[in-house]
Structure 1
Amino acid sequence: MKITIGGITASSDASRGWILAKLSGWLSLTESKADEVERPQAHGAFDPGTDWRTGAGFTVTLSYHGENPAELELALRELKGIAKSDALIDCMVETDAGVTSRMVSVRKIDIPGLTFMNFMSGIAVDLLAPDPFAYGASSNASTGLPKAGGGVRFPMQFPADFGVAGDAGRAVFTNTGTAPTPLKFKVSGGMSDGFSLRCVETGDTLTFKRPLDVSDYVLLDSSDASVLLNGVSPVSGFLVQDDWWTVPPGGTCTVQFNSIGVVYGVPTLELSGAPAYF
């Protein structure tokens, strides 16, 4: 097993450097927020309703084996340096079943007292993932705008010429995980009045009404409903239809990409998503 937290990697197979001793809670199902109310005059309890989950807390126990005490102390300082006061950091776990990751906050790093040796064990790192789901490897799909095919011309001649193939303007993602997963979209210009993205399976639609130059792009993230122009400027106010959606476990989402107004350049939709797991 291997874990990477904020750029620091520890392996259960390592004999020097950072050594992974134990990972607690990574595969656990987090607690439900729904209250349990017992039936006062009947067996059992009332239906708690939707089981919304709390954030995921887990603990990584590490050891470090260095060349000398100075190397050990410097490594401990580097470990404490992964804590961020204003941002989450990436935590990735690799097992025989594959790789999963979460964005986490470092809550506490418990370091035993220094013994002036080159080895230390029992270093406990407490982490919190606000999102209770773990995510597998991301996959990507892209498409341009719909384009008509050439078709058959009459009078027919043989061998038949069916012309240039058309393009439906669709990108597809399948969630192979066990929990609903969000999608991210990147739409590049140019279009005079914006664009729309529609999930064919559900009809949910995102409609963005604003001129988009050839050199511009818009990032849309369904995990937090954010819309950014060129990755920097918030422009969610131009989203006139905001039926954000997630892809259910085992489900497929086909995204239809359409322009609004005049098209210039080669507009492109790039879609990305990852399977999610409880």
Structure 2
Amino acid sequence: MTEIAQVTLGGIVFDGQYPVHGWMLDDLTDWFSLPDSKAESVARPQAHGSFDPGTDWRAGSVHTLTAGYAGASTAEVERALRTLNGLAGTNTLVRCEVALPSGVTHRMVSIRRIDAPPVYNLPFVTGIKIDLLAPDPCAYGTEVSAVTGLPTAGTGVQFPFAFPADFGTPGDPGRVVFVNEGTAPTPLRFRVSGGMSDGFSLKCIESSDVLTLSRPLPVGSSVTLDSSDGTAMLDGVSPVSGFLTDDDWWQVGPGETCTIQFEALGDVTGSPQLQVTGAPAWF
């Protein structure tokens, strides 16, 4: 039995407890390993050591998942293998989620190769090797989301003043706070719904970085801004990055807090909202 309780690859669950029926997990390599640095080491020709290599940008993370399958018949095993191979038939990365005693982390991976031994007319197969490449070297924890509306003023104290004191209804600052508990910078994803006649702005209070979208956003539409790749999509289909008049994309550093201020540009209709989604990241 492995210390990894479970691995989920593209919706297929590999159980580390060796189930009587279904997919079983034998091993997963290098989930906690730090990928190679891409900075070259250049020796000092007339002195000890090497020159400073500069920033250690990391290569992609490479893993091998070893698994097996126990079924009721040889035909079931063959169908399971075809389903597994089908995960590679996509032009998008596949989510690989690992459950450990310290919690659940995930990477988006490319399935590079699946090496399956012969079934030999048996109702089980073991020693299946699945080679994975995660272009992003970081592992991410569970995503969290928070929602806010636009800033609103409080009602304040009403006069004539009376006891017991009534200080009115407090306002809403229109802010969302995200904390990165990991050891690596992590991106954020923003989803803003309309309507606002001239667009909106998002500001990181701690760094003063600003994202401003200067175009109408009607009621019923939304824009998603993703700081992992610097994209802005209207209703999930139309790119609107060209309307960003401020594009200070930012990520949240390890152990840091990010407070996002939401502001409307122009006239407001309906109830615009900002949803912020992110996850802690670890090298």
TM-score bracket relative to the smaller structure: over 0.9
TM-score, scaled relative to structure 2: 0.96
* Identical pairs, percent: 58
Q: 1:75 & 1:264 partners in 2: Cα distance?
A: 52
Q: Where does residue 228 of structure 2 map in the other structure?
A: 223
Aligned to 1:131: 136
Q: Is the 8 A contact 1:91 1:101 kept in 2?
A: yes
RMSD, aligned CA = 1.0
2:75 aligns with one of 70, 73, 98: 70
Quote how far apart the aligned CAs of 1:140 are: 0.9
1:37 aligns with 2:42: yes
**Pairing partner for 1:12 from 12, 16, 19:** 16
Deviation at residue 85 of structure 1 after TM alignment: 3.8
Aligned residue number for residue 150 of structure 1: 155
Q: TM-score, normalised by structure 1?
A: 0.98
Deviation at 1:249, TM superposition (A): 0.7
**Alpha-carbon distance, 1:71 to partner:** 1.0
Q: Given residue 8 of structure 1, which amino acid in structure 2 is its aligned partner? A: I
Counterpart for residue 164 of structure 1: 169
Equivalent residues in 2 for 1:122-271, closer than 5 Å: 122-271=127-276
Gaps of 5+ in 1: none
After superposing on structure 2, the runs of 4+ consecutive aligned residues of structure 1 that deviate more than 6 Å are: none
Q: Which residue of 1 aligns with 2:60?
A: 55
Take 1:231 and 1:114, find their aligned partners in 2: how far apart are those partners? 43
Task: Give the superposition deviation at 1:39.
Answer: 1.2
- Indicate which of 3, 25, 29 corresponds to 1:24: 29
Deviation at 1:152, TM superposition (A): 1.8
* Runs of 5+ consecutive residues of structure 2 not aligned to the other structure: none
Q: Residues of 1 paired with 2:157 and 2:46: CA distance?
A: 74
Q: State how far apart, in whole Å, the 2-side matches of 1:14 and 1:200 are.
A: 49
- Contact kept, 8 Å, 1:146 with 1:257, in 2: the verdict is yes
The one-letter amino acid paired with 2:276 is L
CA offset at residue 155 of structure 1? 4.1
1:27 offset after TM fit, Å?
A: 1.2
In the alignment, is the contact (CA less than 8 A) between 1:196 and 1:205 conserved in 2?
yes
1 CA distance for matches of 2:108 and 2:211?
A: 26
**Amino acid paired to 2:98:** V
